[in-house]
């Protein structure tokens, strides 16, 4: 992600316009290839050494340098740096500073009887090196090896020059969206599978949103931006930015955002559409499950073999007020009874209020809402919802869910309808 000092934009009639660079321009392709070469050959070198190479290659100052540093930041985010030291740097510093303090104390005490000797830095370092079984050079290298500039490049996730330019342009747009208050996205003319992907990505990134439209006419998504929240704006803002590459996979979309931009957070707007030509770096796969639910899924399959649990691909129309894409569909193997499950966590209080209002009227006949206690929903409010409720702290309890699902299955002693 680009930092604020690397974001290049202009303002036209209160609209923020990112200064994208042309992926077809030979100059930028050559620049990108030069930067890629520095990182490819930089394995084992310190971060400071690589940055010095960049400064030496492209110079310092001027607007162009802002682009070079932005491109380099994209590559840095694709790199893994490590602390290279045989002994942890904090241990080395503690031993060196302690030995230096003891040496100075010895000098002060000795000066009362005879001429004060000079502080011998090399002798102190040599003593610590022997104590830690290190060569003096290794001791000095490891002393501040955990500082950012001294981290060494361990590996680099390579890419092409054109991919680097594309990724930089997307990063510019993402940086602008970090300042958003509200976002509106319109998508039309996509296949049902693409719409299901978009709904899943919205859920995966835990974005607060509601939807209008239909499969045939297209959908209008209203997404809360990070600056609309009172807390956790940085984390949520990153989730908003990470959703953008998924949107770029659509053939026909329009995004408009209300911003609070600049040091004074002045009202501004931002627009993006498929015509801008941004290229997504996201793999076109689209089936995601939040990491904290993985353990729940595995546990449920262990304790409830009578039920098949799978990610839901259903898009359930909720009248004229949008759609609902449940997290999971559970199918009773013996009877074929199916139940939809939605897991509502930290980001989804507004989603809960909406579902409580719409599901009893427009929802499927069988569903379960698993509600995190972090939503702080009181029992009286939950009582207003017709469907079954499962409360949880960290992740839903698989055994409790299995017991709840049994209330939907046909009774074993029920009289058969046909004989």
CATH number of the domain within which 259 lies: 3.30.70
Does one domain contain both 348 and 401? Answer: yes
> What is the C-alpha to C-alpha distance for residues 114 and 95, in angstroms, rounded to an integer?
28
In a domain, 227, yes or no: yes
Q: Is 62 within a domain?
A: no
165: in domain: no
Q: Would residue 26 count as lying in a domain?
A: no
255 plus 303 within the same structural domain: no
Q: Are residues 274 and 334 in the same domain?
A: no
Range of the domain at 109: 89-144
| Residue 315: per-residue pLDDT | 79
pLDDT under 50: residue ranges of the chain? 232, 286-287, 412-419
127, 201: one domain = no
Query: Cβ contacts of residue 315 below 8 Å, gap of 6+?
Result: 192, 195, 196, 199, 215, 323, 324, 325
Both 270 and 305 in one domain: the answer is no
Same domain as 211, residue 109: no
- Domain final residue pick, 229, 263, 284: 284
Cα 80–82–85 angle (5° rounding)?
A: 165
- The answer to whether residue 230 sits within a structural domain is yes
Strand ranges inside 132-265, DSSP E: 152-156, 180-187, 209-214, 218-224, 253-261
User: For residue 77, is it within any domain?
Assistant: no
pLDDT of residue 414: 47
Number of structural domains (the chain) is 3
C-alpha dihedral (381, 387, 391, 395), degrees to nearest 10: -130
Report the pLDDT value the prediction gives residue 285, as an integer from 0 to 100: 62
């Amino acid at each position: 992600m680009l930092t604020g000092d690397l974001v290049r934009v202009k303002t036209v009639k209160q609209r923020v316009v990112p200064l994208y660079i042309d992926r077809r321009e030979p100059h930028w392709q050559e620049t990108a290839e030069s930067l890629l070469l520095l990182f490819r050959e930089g394995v084992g070198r310190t971060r400071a050494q690589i940055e010095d190479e960049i400064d030496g290659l492209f110079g310092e100052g001027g607007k162009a340098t802002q682009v070079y540093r932005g491109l380099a930041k994209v590559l840095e985010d694709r790199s893994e740096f490590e602390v290279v030291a045989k002994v942890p740097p904090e241990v080395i510093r503690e031993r060196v500073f302690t030995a230096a303090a003891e040496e100075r104390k010895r000098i002060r005490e000795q000066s009362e009887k005879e001429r004060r000797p000079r502080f011998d830095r090399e002798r102190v370092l040599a003593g610590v090196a022997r104590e830690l079984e290190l060569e003096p050079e290794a001791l000095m290298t490891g002393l501040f090896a955990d500082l950012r500039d001294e981290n060494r490049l361990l590996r680099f996730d390579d890419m092409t020059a054109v991919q680097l330019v594309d990724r930089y342009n997307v990063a510019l747009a993402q940086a602008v969206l970090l300042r958003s208050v509200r976002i509106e996205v319109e998508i039309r003319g996509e296949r049902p599978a693409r719409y299901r992907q978009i709904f899943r990505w919205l859920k995966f990134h835990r974005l607060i949103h509601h939807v209008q439209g239909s499969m045939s006419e297209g959908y209008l998504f209203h997404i809360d931006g990070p600056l609309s929240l009172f807390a956790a704006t940085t984390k949520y803002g990153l989730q908003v930015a990470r959703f953008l590459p998924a949107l770029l996979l659509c053939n026909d979309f329009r995004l408009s955002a209300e911003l609070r931009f600049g040091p004074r957070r002045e009202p501004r707007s931002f627009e993006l559409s498929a015509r801008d030509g941004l290229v997504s770096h996201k793999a076109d796969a689209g089936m995601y499950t939040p990491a904290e639910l993985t353990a729940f899924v595995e546990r449920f399959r262990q304790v409830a073999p009578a039920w098949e649990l799978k990610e839901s691909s259903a898009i359930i129309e909720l009248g004229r007020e949008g759609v609902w894409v449940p997290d999971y569909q559970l199918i009773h193997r013996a009877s074929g009874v199916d139940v939809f499950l939605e897991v509502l966590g930290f980001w989804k209080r507004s989603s809960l209020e909406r579902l409580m209002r719409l599901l009893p009227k427009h929802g499927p006949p069988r569903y379960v809402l698993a509600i995190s206690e972090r939503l702080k929903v009181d029992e009286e409010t939950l009582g207003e919802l017709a469907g079954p409720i499962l409360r949880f702290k960290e992740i839903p309890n698989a055994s409790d869910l299995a017991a709840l699902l049994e209330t939907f299955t046909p009774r074993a002693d029920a009289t058969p309808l046909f004989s």
